[in-house]
Chains A and B, each alone.
Chain A
Amino acid sequence: MVRPGESILVAGASGSGKSTLCRASIGLVPHFHGGELIGRVWVDGMDTREHPVHKLFGHVGLAFQNPDAQLFNQTVEAELAYGLESLGLAPKEIERRLTWVSEMARLGPLLHRSPHCLSGGEKQCVVLGAILALRPRLVLLDEPFTHLDPEGAERLRAILRAMRAEGIGCIVVEHRLHAIVDEVDRLVVLHRGHVAVDGPPRQVLAQDLSNHGLNLPPLTRFFREQGRVETPLTVDEALLCLRKSVETQEGRYPSSRRSLDWNFPDHSPKPANPPSGFRNFVIEVNRVQFSYGDLAVLSGVNLKLNRGECVALAGRNGGGKTTLVKHFNGLLKPNSGEVNVLGRDTRTTSVSELARHVGFAWQNPNDQLFQANVREEVLTGPRVLRAYDPTWCERLFERFGLGPLMDRSPFRLSEGEKKRVAFATALAAQPEVVILDEPTAGQDEPFRRELGSLIRELRAEGRTVVLVTHDLEFAAEHANRWVVLAGGQIVADGSPQEVMGDSEAMAAAGLRPTQLFQLRKALAEWSDEKRMEAHVV
């Protein structure tokens, strides 16, 4: 049951039925998809089984996961108007609603642009705007934060707040709970097609959710690790809880340093020791400039990647992260400057040769699947590169649990299984450098844990891992070094702590420190303040 104007966050492991629930809520199940629907879904007093989707779409809207596949008009304005035309509204009313929604979703400057030329965040806002223009009673969003950079995510949160103010209910399906949990009225956890837990977020997060594959908010995890019972949803709440606790124990002016020290998880895993006898730099980028036509993307980038480290590349969408890593295996050649991979100049070395040393696992595993079965898929690369080592490949199959899937078509696997196949293909030629492009996007907690242990194993073997990611919580946990790109240049390079402490660089790249870093910083400031006060008293 969803009450008018209520906002609900739906969470659960992959395959728990979140997307199917969304489709059932708008009538796509049973009218568009096959299968059997048992029970009833009522939307705004209408039984979805008895009303076709075109009768329901004005009452409930759904923003799907992939924004590209929902934008089918030539301009943003036409996109926003499409549903209104479907409703058969008069042109004057359409214009009125266009004005309203473009203001609400801040789409004014984009109205005459092609939706396919926008950034991921802008596309997401257009999709949402096209639904909101219909003035539905309820909006469903299926993993809306997955492809957004922090600025895009903030923009989306602002729209969701505006929706609440307008009395429009919303259901957000999301793996990254911390992105939105403090803004919703209820948290519903799905498990194997059932509602396992349902209630106010604080109450739900206080329960044992370990079997539901949830990526718990970092603050919740930290408080549990500390053995505390509170479940703060924001940094301010967490700070208040901890301050209260110290003051309760030690009075207004805590004197012992111990009471002000918290056991924060180590944000900076140490770089693995390089095997002796090897040159330490695996990739050297010197004064690289690159542009697509007139658009300069990299402007004088210098970077050295060491053996055995895990480097997170962060920055805005379109900030040059992917362009930079495409230089690491020669897919792109610099306009000026040079890139050396294990001493080979990428300008004069073929991509095939570099592919033996640099493995890529792309964000979308569907970009590379084409063989009849999983075994052939994984072995294609090493065979072409003449780097096939049966023992190593068998180890990979075992490592990624691909044994039972070996003879299956890769197209028929789940998205998580496809990702595992993609990781295995990236590693099949035993590369010294592995690049993972947005590896956690849309993935549940079991997958994130598995990925974390994979990164540790790769580093222990002396391989260099490069994470291209917006998921700073994951990057803070697994990368020992962050490189931040903004305006085509590296604006920060150091340990996660150092980079997050550089507020100027973070702002330039549109990034926000992780919640735990914010909490740690706020606690440190408060502790200093208290010590000072105690000293004065």
Chain B
Amino acid sequence: MSFDPRSKLTAALVAAVVLMTLGRWPWLALALGLFLLVTLWLHLGRAWLDLLNSLGFAAVSFFVIAWLAFDLATGLEASLRLLAMATVFFLFFKTTPPEDLSNALVKLGIPYAFAFVLSASMQFVQVLTRRAANIRDAQRARGIPLEGNLKTLYHLPAVVGPLLIQAFKLADELAEAMEARGFGAPGRRFRREPHFALADWFFVGINLVVLTGFLWVRFK
């Protein structure tokens, strides 16, 4: 069974609020454990490891800084909160295709242009990453040292300059191509209209009950 993006978004926001207000590291560890079980159940373990690979450094930094500045428990809470929060949104984006998300946002009353740009921009991260790699290769082939030492910083404009220019050019070309495929046309209809089913109402209801219960226990 798959839920409507709107109910999933509600669940993700509820989880974010809960994680922000959870005070002790064992509870945060428990929450992270629960999210990891869901991750494994959805066969997303490998992708989660990729996330950990890119987020691991930040999590460790959070831990060390908070530990040194405060105490060990605060260090654990900071890093666990970051990982749990990232896992929640990882699950949301992994189970929600961008076009479904933008369709759902439009249904929520968000203007189509804004919703579309939000979902489309995610795909261009990999296009620009590939272009950045090409630019780096092109500059290294001219002898510009970009091999990871301090000199790299001095030569950074050799990568950032062409990348910025290409990003602007790409944005321009994209706008033109989208215009030519009716981006601004009134009366757009979606092939897959989001449908808020009974299960979604139930799911949102449970989330709201959990949130209310949690906030009552936490702040009574």
Q: How far is the CA of A362 from the CA of B126 in the complex (A)?
A: 21
Binds B, one of A171-179, A242-250, A363-371, A497-505: A363-371
B123 touches A54 (CB 8 A): no
Is there a chain B Cβ closer than 8 Å to A88's Cβ?
A: yes
Q: How far is the CA of A52 from the CA of B176 in the complex (A)?
A: 13
Q: Hey, which chain A residues are within 8 Å of B192, CB to CB? A: 91
- CB B21 to nearest CB in A, in angstroms, measures 34
- CB B194 to nearest CB in A, in angstroms, measures 12
Q: Hey, which chain A residues are within 8 Å of B183, CB to CB? A: 54, 86
Is there a chain B Cβ closer than 8 Å to A536's Cβ?
A: no
Q: Hey, which chain B residues are within 8 Å of A329, CB to CB? A: 141
B181 touches A384 (CB 8 A): no
Is there a chain B Cβ closer than 8 Å to A158's Cβ?
A: no
Is there a chain B Cβ closer than 8 Å to A350's Cβ?
A: yes
Q: How far is the CA of A210 from the CA of B162 in the complex (A)?
A: 37
Is there a chain A Cβ closer than 8 Å to B191's Cβ?
A: yes
A91 touches B193 (CB 8 A): yes
Interface string of B161-202 (1 = CB under 8 A from A): 110011001100111111111111111111111000000000
A367 touches B134 (CB 8 A): yes
Is there a chain B Cβ closer than 8 Å to A26's Cβ?
A: yes
**Partner of A69 from B139, B173, B184, B193 at Cβ < 8 Å:** B173
- CB A126 to nearest CB in B, in angstroms, measures 12
**Partner of A72 from B97, B138, B144, B174 at Cβ < 8 Å:** B174
- From known contacts A28-B179, A326-B137, infer whether A53 and B189 are also in contact, taking CB-CB under 8 Å: no
Which of B97, B137, B141, B144 has its CB near the most chain A CB atoms (within 10 A)? B141
Interface string of B101-115 (1 = CB under 8 A from A): 000000000000000
A384 touches B144 (CB 8 A): yes
- CB B150 to nearest CB in A, in angstroms, measures 15
- CB A524 to nearest CB in B, in angstroms, measures 43
Q: Count CB-based A-B contacts (< 8 Å).
A: 159
**Partner of A85 from B126, B140, B191 at Cβ < 8 Å:** B191
- Total interface residues in chain A, CB < 8 Å: 62
Q: How far is the CA of A32 from the CA of B179 in the complex (A)?
A: 8
**Partner of B188 from A57, A85, A95, A116 at Cβ < 8 Å:** A85
Q: Hey, which chain A residues are within 8 Å of B134, CB to CB? A: 362, 364, 367
Interface string of A56-94 (1 = CB under 8 A from B): 011001101010111011110010011111111111001
B145 touches A368 (CB 8 A): no
B179 touches A355 (CB 8 A): no
Q: Hey, which chain B residues are within 8 Å of A26, CB to CB? A: 180
**Partner of A366 from B98, B137, B166, B180 at Cβ < 8 Å:** B166
B188 touches A64 (CB 8 A): no
A331 touches B137 (CB 8 A): yes
A87 touches B182 (CB 8 A): yes
B180 touches A28 (CB 8 A): yes
Q: How far is the CA of A101 from the CA of B173 in the complex (A)?
A: 24
A91 touches B191 (CB 8 A): yes
A370 touches B157 (CB 8 A): yes
B126 touches A116 (CB 8 A): yes
Which of B131, B138, B169, B183 has its CB near the most chain A CB atoms (within 10 A)? B138
B141 touches A53 (CB 8 A): no
Is there a chain B Cβ closer than 8 Å to A138's Cβ?
A: no
Q: Hey, which chain B residues are within 8 Å of A358, CB to CB? A: 141
Q: Hey, which chain B residues are within 8 Å of A78, CB to CB? A: 99
A69 touches B141 (CB 8 A): no
Is there a chain A Cβ closer than 8 Å to B43's Cβ?
A: no
Is there a chain B Cβ closer than 8 Å to A380's Cβ?
A: yes
Is there a chain B Cβ closer than 8 Å to A351's Cβ?
A: yes
B165 touches A369 (CB 8 A): yes
A32 touches B99 (CB 8 A): no
Q: Hey, which chain B residues are within 8 Å of A84, CB to CB? A: 191
A369 touches B189 (CB 8 A): no
Q: How far is the CA of A66 from the CA of B97 in the complex (A)?
A: 25
- From known contacts A26-B180, A385-B143, infer whether A366 and B191 are also in contact, taking CB-CB under 8 Å: no
- CB A425 to nearest CB in B, in angstroms, measures 6
Is there a chain A Cβ closer than 8 Å to B127's Cβ?
A: yes
B162 touches A366 (CB 8 A): yes
**Partner of B184 from A52, A114, A130, A367 at Cβ < 8 Å:** A52
Which of B126, B147, B181 has its CB near the most chain A CB atoms (within 10 A)? B181
Q: Hey, which chain B residues are within 8 Å of A83, CB to CB? A: 181-182
B182 touches A381 (CB 8 A): no
Is there a chain B Cβ closer than 8 Å to A360's Cβ?
A: yes
Is there a chain A Cβ closer than 8 Å to B29's Cβ?
A: no
- From known contacts A74-B99, A331-B137, A384-B143, infer whether A89 and B180 are also in contact, taking CB-CB under 8 Å: no
Q: How far is the CA of A360 from the CA of B178 in the complex (A)?
A: 34
Q: How far is the CA of A89 from the CA of B185 in the complex (A)?
A: 12
B191 touches A74 (CB 8 A): no
Q: Hey, which chain A residues are within 8 Å of B145, CB to CB? A: 352, 384
**Partner of B143 from A85, A116, A381 at Cβ < 8 Å:** A381
- Beyond A64-B180, A360-B138, list 19 extra A-B contacts (CB 8 Å): A58-B182, A69-B177, A72-B174, A74-B98, A82-B181, A85-B188, A85-B190, A86-B181, A87-B185, A95-B191, A331-B137, A355-B143, A362-B138, A364-B134, A368-B135, A369-B165, A370-B158, A370-B162, A384-B144
| Nearest 6 A/B pairs, CB to CB | A86-B182, A370-B161, A69-B173, A355-B143, A54-B185, A381-B142
- Using a CB–CB cutoff of 8 Å, the interface residues on chain B facing chain A are 97-99, 119-120, 123-124, 126-127, 131, 134-135, 137-145, 147, 157-158, 161-162, 165-166, 169-170, 173-193
What are 9 sample pairs from A and B whose C-beta atoms fall under 8 A apart? A32-B175, A74-B119, A90-B189, A95-B191, A350-B147, A355-B140, A355-B143, A366-B165, A366-B166
